Amino acid sequence: MPERTIVVLISGSGSNLQALIDATQEGRLRAKIIAVISNRQKAFGLERAKKAGIPTDTFSLKKFREQGQSRIDFDVAIAKTIQERYHPALIVLAGWMHILSPEFLSFFEKQNNIINLHPALPGQFDGAHAIERAFEAFKQGKITHTGIMVHKVIADVDRGEVILKREIPIEQNDTLETLEERIHSYEHKLIVEAAQAFLDNLENN
């Protein structure tokens, strides 16, 4: 039986990371988070990890560039750390604000075990600022709802195989802030469900 280990990549406050931590501690996610990696030294998610006793690593693209190294060098260093130090069953991008290069992805091509949480439905609002773009489309009468998805990560941004998705209504009296709050509340559930689904599928195959 494959060991249910997870490495989580974050860039910010780590609220989705916290959802994963809570789920593992409560037994709703039958797995162990063995590391949290951030590309921002001051990311609050690192504090969440430390409080839960989870090892952390931080990588600074700025420092790599100051040393004459490239973005690809940065990606390869993170990939090697994950593969050699942790070799997890699953890598979860939970608010990871850095597009992973093909060079990074090549380290995990065989396992195909990187998933990403994205605040839009498949084929809609790929890339950055998805919630803002959805809200603007709603105001223009183009859509009545948005959604979220967890998908496998491939070089084509937000176009990997969808693990799970959820439609989310946009209310007439919504502001961007209230829509963001609703989306985040759904995200905290979906990221746990998708991680569980991925690991269950891994175990059954």
Q: What are the residue numbers of the active site?
A: 118
CA atoms within 13 A of residue 66's CA, in its CB half-sphere:
5
Question: What's 98's DSSP letter?
Answer: S
Structure tokens at 39: 């590309």
CA 83 to chain centre: 18
Q: How far is CA 32 from CA 16, 46, 55, 150, in A?
A: 15, 16, 12, 19
Distance CA 18, CA 12 (A): 12
Return the structure tokens found at 122. Answer: 């498949």
